[in-house]
């Protein structure tokens, strides 16, 4: 069943995502700076966000794509948690000082010491927090908007960072609705968010999860 | 026993120096010996003066082969420097580091300098670990495979796939559906092997953000380290000059410098400056003294030439034996050779005496016994030190023995050739002799109760001095880090996360393979200790180059557990049947594939391996080092030491301190033995009571000196014992001269006083140096006290010399 799903739907999703971000972007400048600051400000009004996501990873050289699904929890204070449900359960925590992957049997893989992971984690959190300044330090920002959707193109300034991530694309309206990471190898990963809502606080269980 | 009565100078009808054979043969022998030394010296290495701080340390292991391995590792450490440019702005810190890199990268004294990290490094490592994925399983992969835990391995693959970013490539997924290569890469990154501490690759360089500043790293391996022929020629001088220029060009920039070459340089600059100051003052004082007393250029020139030749011979012999001479050897050696001036002074004090008939052979007859015993005393003491496992001590011994012997031979063979003096001692030169004799007379004239009180007070002083004595053989006292350098070292270890412990393991084996196998067994234990907080990390070759046996085991295990399950894994990942066949064929094709040193040589692992691989040594064994970081419990690590199995724990600082303490004990034994040898020698010349009195002079002087050290809070260490070894050489000399020269007291007292003063000038001034302070204090005090005690104790069985005797004389 899983195999059928992968074979049928993944190529469709992947092509759609690729086309979505294939647009004409304008570099950040005096003309659009205030718009972008406003966009980030809007995103930042939600210190907590929850929802579901679909992730599509495309390995270009293998010509294969892999889809994962699950829930996400964003907390401006604690970080971003990806609770992957299918095809294999696992948790990815992007905290302020570390990036941790955890399997259901309790095994952990901590990538905290690595600067690229750390910066990636910081950047994603900065985007979710609506921190324009931090994003601008790390990336060259370009912008466009179509039909009430805004699109951001982020290109790393640092060549070491660039050797891992070539470009990031983000689309949203009131909050981030999808984003795409293109690796320097040409591989990419697309996230599409749905059912996003903004609770006032985390549950105790969720807080514990972040604290672990 | 020989008769203790020395013949009067006038009774010496035919001294053996007057024999033609000696008169002509002696100078010829002197010239031939010195010509030989000069010839050998100029054919060998010229003026290699080392300031390397590691090179001065004794080997901490008594086994010769391990000592050689230690030396090789120390030499490697001596060549490495790490420099960080610091600036709150990353791009400026990077710019500053790049400027320094550009200014030094073509310098021929630099073997390698690393500034930018290629972006291809990680893909290269990724590819290498993929190629050898079955042979070089990571620790966690191995554990899962041993447990047959296929599910977890599969879950990890999906975890990697679902990660938003991957450091390693997933391109090999079809050939490596368990991501074994990816897992190895991740393990290396997590272990800190591909980056450590706060450091990480940023904009193509290794950088860290620490307490609000950016630090960009420059890693330098020098082709030469502590060897200096001139300060201006030192690589550190060039680096410091460039740093000065860069900091003036880029605002808010400073540099953090760490590594042995910086310390060796700082130490050498300080030592050179101390040598220059002390020797200049000592030289001027000695010259003034000679001019005032002799008012003739002949004694002055002769003494200086003799001393200079002595230093040159000492230096040449040390270079011939050791290939280089350490700066500290020169500090000690030149002071010791200062004793040689004593021989000259004895000669020239007699030379001015008309009673000697102005004949060199007659003068030599008078002073021969004194200076020969003094020389033998020193040579006996120092010969034993050539056997001690402490390069510095061996060098000082060779330097001093050869230098002193040269000066001695010059006095007995060359000085008699100097034309007789026309000058005569003027009465004012006797003023001091008279004053000293009066002082002695008064001391001797003290009534018994006063003497008893003085003796008791001295005894109380000695007892309290010994009770307060602090034995401290700390190698750190060799060199006190300049404050800035100490701060830099501390900051550098915080940034790199590698806190050097000075501890490591040396692994010995009959082949590289055996070394790696032993290392694997050791690292297993180290992992356990790491988990219990004994150490923070370690660097071992087997972490990236498993032994062949381990590689074969890994390959077999992967084949047994993974290959049968690979079909399902590949299908789950969406691959076709053909991928399964290809994977099985690829696995079989790898049956003889093994990762080797050669394959690793051009990779980042190869560079790491180079720093810890010792290789083949001439004892027929292979060696590797396992370097330990952040050690908190050395005792726990020392329990792993198993010399029988070729696992040696080296705790450099503590072992060196222990070795210094053992050497101190050995030196004390040598000192006692040399006293016994000297005493037995004296018994052949003097009655036993006189022999005891003569020997008592330096013994009591040494005891009082040690008590003074105790009272003043100075440490008792190897350098003190080395200083004490110098005391009998002069103390016995003084006692014998007082005894032998009582018939010509004015010359005797003059020569002894001049000798004491020149010794106090040269040694006493060393007390103001950093490295040789305790040595200088010990010798200076010992000599001064011997000078006071010699007339009081050394000749009690003879009629007391009086001022009237002096006047009659």
**What is the rounded distance in angstroms from the CA atom of residue B96 to the CA atom of residue B87?**
9
- The answer for A 74-93 residues in CB contact with B (under 8 A) is 82, 84, 87-88, 90, 92
Cα distances from B520 to residues B501, B516, B626, B631, B644, in angstroms, run 21, 6, 11, 20, 17
**What is the rounded distance in angstroms from the CA atom of residue A136 to the CA atom of residue A39?**
14
pLDDT of residue B336: 65
Backbone angles phi, psi at A102, to 5 degrees: -130, 130
Average pLDDT over residues B452-461: 88
Decide if pLDDT at B71 tops 60. yes
Tally Cβ neighbours within 10 Å of residue A178.
Answer: 20
Backbone angles phi, psi at B623, to 5 degrees: -135, 150
- Nearest chain A alpha carbon to B162: A68
- Nearest chain B alpha carbon to A63: B171
Position with higher pLDDT, B74 vs B469: B469
Q: What angle do CA B720, B723, B724 make, to 5 degrees?
A: 90
pLDDT of residue A11: 44
In this complex, the residue of A59, A105, A163 whose CB is nearest that of residue B173 is A59
Query: Highest mean pLDDT: which of B77-86, B227-236, B263-272?
Result: B77-86
% of chain B with per-residue pLDDT over 70: 82
- Nearest chain B alpha carbon to A67: B162
Among A20-24, B432-436, B583-587, B611-615, the least confident range: B432-436
Query: Highest mean pLDDT: which of B423-427, B604-608, B700-704?
Result: B700-704
Per DSSP, the three-state class of B32 is helix
Tally Cβ neighbours within 10 Å of residue B697.
Answer: 30
| Nearest-10 crossing angle of helices B718-740, B360-385 | 160
pLDDT in tens, B728-752: 777 787 887 777 766 666 777 777 8
Among B730, B734, B716, B729, smallest CA distance to B668 is for B716
pLDDT of residue B96: 94
Among A56, A71, A38, A89, smallest CA distance to A181 is for A56
Longest dimension (CA), chain B: 122
Average pLDDT over residues B221-228: 60
pLDDT of residue B227: 46
In this complex, the residue of B152, B161, B170 whose CB is nearest that of residue A103 is B152
Q: Is B156 on the interface with A (CB under 8 A)?
A: yes
In this complex, the residue of B158, B164, B170 whose CB is nearest that of residue A88 is B158
Average pLDDT over residues B385-403: 80
- Give the neighbor-by-neighbor strand order of the sheet with A188-197: A26-27, A139-146, A149-156, A165-172, A176-183, A188-197, A48-59, A64-75, A79-86, A90-95, A99-102, A108-110
Q: Is A133 on the interface with B (CB under 8 A)?
A: no
Q: What angle do CA B176, B177, B181 make, to 5 degrees?
A: 40
pLDDT of residue B3: 40
Going B244 to B247 to B250 to B256, the CA torsion angle's sign is positive
pLDDT of residue B356: 59
Q: What is the enclosing helix (H) or strand (E) of B691?
A: helix B688-712
Q: Which of A5, A14, A99, A117 best tests the B interface by mutation, with the highest count of B CBs <10 A?
A: A117
pLDDT in tens, B277-333: 877 887 788 788 778 777 778 888 888 888 888 888 888 888 888 877 777 787 777
Average pLDDT over residues B108-116: 80
Is B749 within 8 Å of B436 (Cβ atoms)?
yes
% of chain B with per-residue pLDDT over 90: 14
* Residue B282, C-beta contacts closer than 8 angstroms, at least 6 positions apart: B338, B758, B761, B762, B765
| Nearest-10 crossing angle of helices B391-409, B360-385 | 170
Q: Is B98 on the interface with A (CB under 8 A)?
A: no
Among B542, B493, B564, smallest CA distance to B191 is for B542
Per DSSP, the three-state class of B503 is strand
Q: Is B277 on the interface with A (CB under 8 A)?
A: no
Chain A residues whose beta carbon lies within 8 Å of the beta carbon of residue B174? 62
3-state helix/strand/coil string of B237-257? HHHHHHHHHHHHHCCCCEEEE
Q: How far is CA B530 from the centre of its chain?
A: 31
pLDDT of residue B808: 44
Q: Is A71 on the interface with B (CB under 8 A)?
A: no
Q: Is A57 on the interface with B (CB under 8 A)?
A: yes
Is B693 within 8 Å of B748 (Cβ atoms)?
no
Taking the CA of residue B653 as centre, how many other CA atoms within 13 Å lie in the half-sphere pointing to its CB? 11
Among B299, B331, B295, smallest CA distance to B315 is for B331
Rounded to the nearest 10 degrees, how much is the dihedral formed by the CA atoms of B513, B514, B520, B521? 160
Is A95 within 8 Å of A78 (Cβ atoms)?
yes
Decide if pLDDT at B805 tops 60. no
> b/e per residue, B549-566, with b = 16+ CB within 10 A?
ebbbebbebbbebbeebb
Chain B residues whose beta carbon lies within 8 Å of the beta carbon of residue A3? 571-572, 574
Q: Where are the alpha helices (DSSP H) in B163-259?
A: 180-191, 235-249
In this complex, the residue of A101, A113, A160 whose CB is nearest that of residue B163 is A101
Is B425 within 8 Å of B809 (Cβ atoms)?
no
pLDDT of residue B703: 92
Is B790 within 8 Å of B374 (Cβ atoms)?
no
Q: Tokens 């010994």: give the residue.
A: B466
pLDDT of residue A53: 93
In this complex, the residue of A88, A90, A165 whose CB is nearest that of residue B165 is A165
- Nearest chain A alpha carbon to B201: A160
**What is the rounded distance in angstroms from the CA atom of residue B535 to the CA atom of residue B634?**
9
Phi-psi region of A97 (alpha: psi -120 to 50; beta: other; left: phi over 0): alpha
Q: DSSP label at A52? A: E
Is B73 within 8 Å of B61 (Cβ atoms)?
no
B213, two tokens: 């500043």
Decide if pLDDT at B68 tops 90. no
pLDDT of residue B533: 86
**What is the rounded distance in angstroms from the CA atom of residue B567 to the CA atom of residue B491?**
52
* Residue A139, C-beta contacts closer than 8 angstroms, at least 6 positions apart: A123, A154, A155, A156, A157, A168
Q: Tokens 């009582």: give the residue.
A: B742
Average pLDDT over residues B103-112: 83
B134, two tokens: 């079955």
pLDDT of residue B94: 92
Decide if pLDDT at B337 tops 70. no
Among A70-84, B372-386, B421-435, the least confident range: B421-435
Q: What angle do CA B674, B61, B509 make, to 5 degrees?
A: 145
Average pLDDT value over all residues in chain B: 79
**What is the rounded distance in angstroms from the CA atom of residue B689 to the CA atom of residue B679?**
11
pLDDT of residue B243: 93
Do A59 and B163 count as a contact with CB atoms less than 8 A apart? no
Could you say which residues of chain A have pLDDT below 50? 1-15
Do B164 and A92 count as a contact with CB atoms less than 8 A apart? yes
Average pLDDT over residues B345-374: 76
Decide if pLDDT at B7 tops 50. no
Strand-strand pairing, A99-102 and A90-95? antiparallel
Among B40-44, B505-509, B803-807, the least confident range: B803-807
Do B573 and A187 count as a contact with CB atoms less than 8 A apart? no
Phi-psi region of A69 (alpha: psi -120 to 50; beta: other; left: phi over 0): beta
In this complex, the residue of B164, B186, B189 whose CB is nearest that of residue A181 is B164
Decide if pLDDT at B463 tops 60. yes
The answer, yes or no, to whether the previous bond of A87 is cis (omega within 30 of 0) is yes
In this complex, the residue of B155, B170, B574 whose CB is nearest that of residue A90 is B155
B61, two tokens: 């292991």
């Amino acid at each position: 069943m899983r195999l059928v799903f992968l074979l049928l739907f993944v190529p469709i999703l992947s092509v759609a995502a690729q086309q979505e971000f294939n647009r004409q972007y304008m570099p950040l400048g005096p003309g659009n700076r205030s718009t972008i600051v406003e966009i980030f400000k809007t995103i930042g009004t939600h210190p907590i966000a929850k929802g579901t996501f679909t992730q599509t990873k495309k390995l270009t050289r293998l010509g294969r794509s892999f889809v994962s699904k699950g829930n996400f929890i964003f907390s401006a204070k604690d970080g971003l948690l990806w609770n992957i449900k299918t095809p294999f359960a696992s948790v990815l925590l992007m905290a302020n000082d570390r990036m941790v992957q955890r399997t259901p049997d309790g095994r952990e893989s901590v990538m905290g010491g690595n600067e690229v992971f750390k910066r990636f984690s910081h950047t994603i959190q900065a985007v979710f927090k609506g921190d324009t300044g931090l994003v601008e330090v790390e990336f060259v920002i370009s912008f466009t908007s179509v039909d009430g959707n805004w699109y951001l193109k982020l290109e790393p300034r640092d060549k070491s960072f660039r050797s891992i991530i070539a470009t990031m694309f983000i689309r949203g309206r009131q909050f981030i609705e999808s984003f795409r990471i293109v690796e320097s190898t040409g591989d990419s990963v697309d996230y599409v968010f749905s059912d996003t809502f903004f609770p006032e606080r985390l549950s105790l269980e969720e807080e514990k999860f972040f604290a672990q | 026993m020989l008769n203790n009565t020395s013949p009067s100078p006038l009774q010496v009808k035919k001294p053996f120096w007057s024999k033609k054979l000696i008169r002509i043969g002696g100078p010829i022998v002197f010239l031939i010996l010195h010509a030989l030394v000069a010839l050998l010296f100029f054919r060998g290495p010229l003026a290699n003066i080392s300031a390397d701080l590691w090179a001065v340390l004794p080997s901490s292991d008594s086994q010769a082969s391990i000592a050689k391995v230690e030396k090789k590792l120390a030499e490697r450490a001596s060549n490495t420097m790490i420099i960080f440019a610091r600036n709150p702005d990353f791009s400026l810190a990077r710019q500053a580091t790049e400027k320094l890199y550009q200014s030094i990268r073509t310098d021929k004294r630099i073997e390698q300098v690393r500034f930018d990290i290629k972006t291809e490094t990680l893909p290269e490592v990724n590819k290498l670990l993929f190629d050898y994925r079955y042979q070089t399983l990571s620790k966690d992969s191995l554990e899962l495979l041993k447990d047959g835990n296929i599910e977890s391995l599969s879950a990890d693959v999906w975890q990697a796939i679902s990660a938003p970013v991957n450091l390693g490539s997933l391109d090999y997924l079809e050939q490596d559906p368990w991501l074994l290569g990816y897992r190895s890469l991740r393990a290396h990154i997590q272990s800190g092997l591909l980056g450590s501490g706060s450091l990480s690759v940023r904009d193509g360089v290794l950088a860290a953000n620490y307490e609000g500043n950016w630090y960009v790293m420059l890693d330098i391996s020098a082709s030469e380290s502590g060897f200096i022929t001139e300060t201006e020629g030192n690589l550190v001088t060039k680096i410091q000059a460039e740093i000065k220029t860069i900091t003036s060009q880029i605002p808010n920039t400073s540099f953090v410098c760490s590594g042995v070459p910086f310390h060796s340089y700082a130490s050498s600059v300080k030592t050179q400056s101390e040598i220059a100051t002390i020797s200049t003052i000592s030289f001027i004082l000695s010259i003034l003294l000679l001019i005032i007393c002799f008012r003739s250029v002949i004694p002055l020139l002769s003494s200086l030439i003799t001393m200079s030749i002595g230093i040159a011979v000492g230096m040449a012999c040390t270079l011939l034996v050791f290939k280089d001479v350490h700066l500290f050897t020169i500090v000690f050696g030149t002071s010791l050779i200062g004793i040689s001036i004593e021989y000259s002074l004895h000669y020239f004090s007699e030379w001015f005496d008309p009673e000697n008939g102005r004949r060199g052979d007659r003068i030599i007859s008078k002073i021969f016994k004194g200076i020969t015993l003094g020389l033998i005393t020193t040579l006996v003491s120092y010969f034993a030190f050539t056997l001690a496992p402490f390069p510095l001590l061996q060098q000082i011994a060779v330097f001093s023995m050869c230098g002193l012997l040269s000066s001695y031979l010059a006095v007995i063979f060359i000085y008699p050739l100097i034309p007789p003096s026309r000058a005569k001692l003027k009465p004012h030169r006797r003023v001091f002799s008279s004053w000293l004799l009066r002082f002695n007379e008064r001391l001797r004239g003290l009534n018994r109760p006063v003497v008893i009180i003085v003796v008791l007070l001295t005894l109380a002083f000695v007892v309290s001095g010994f009770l307060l004595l602090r034995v401290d053989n700390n190698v750190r006292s060799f060199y006190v880090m300049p404050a800035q350098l100490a701060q830099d070292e501390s900051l550098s270890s915080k940034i790199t996360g590698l806190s050097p412990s000075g501890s490591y393991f040396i692994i010995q084996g009959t082949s590289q393979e055996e070394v790696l196998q032993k290392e694997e067994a050791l690292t297993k234990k180290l992992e356990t200790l790491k988990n219990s907080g004994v150490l923070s990390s370690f660097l071992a070759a087997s972490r990236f180059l498993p032994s062949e046996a381990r590689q074969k085991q890994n390959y077999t295990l992967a084949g047994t557990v993974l290959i049968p399950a690979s079909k399902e894994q590949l299908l789950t990942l969406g691959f076709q049947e053909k991928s399964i066949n290809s994977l099985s064929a690829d696995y079989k094709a790898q049956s003889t594939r093994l990762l080797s040193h050669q394959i690793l040589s051009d990779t980042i692992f190869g560079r790491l391996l180079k720093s810890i691989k010792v290789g083949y040594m001439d004892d027929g064994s292979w060696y590797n080092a396992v370097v330990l970081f952040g050690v908190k419990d050395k005792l726990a690590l020392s329990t792993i030491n198993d010399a029988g199995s070729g696992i040696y724990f080296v705790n450099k600082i503590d072992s060196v301190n222990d070795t210094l303490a053992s050497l101190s004990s050995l030196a004390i034994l040598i000192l006692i033995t040399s006293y016994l040898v000297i005493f037995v020698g004296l018994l052949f010349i003097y009655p036993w009571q006189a022999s005891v009195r003569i020997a008592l002079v330096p013994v009591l002087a040494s005891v009082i000196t040690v008590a003074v050290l105790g009272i003043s809070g100075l440490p008792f260490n190897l350098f003190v014992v080395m200083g004490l070894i110098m005391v009998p050489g002069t103390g016995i000399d003084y006692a014998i001269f007082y005894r032998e020269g009582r018939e010509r007291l004015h010359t005797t007292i003059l020569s002894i006083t001049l000798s004491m003063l020149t010794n106090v000038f040269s040694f006493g001034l060393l007390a103001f140096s950093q490295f040789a302070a305790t040595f200088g204090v010990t010798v200076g005090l010992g000599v001064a006290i011997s000078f006071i005690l010699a007339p009081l104790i050394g000749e009690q069985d003879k009629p007391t010399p009086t001022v009237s005797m002096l006047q009659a004389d």
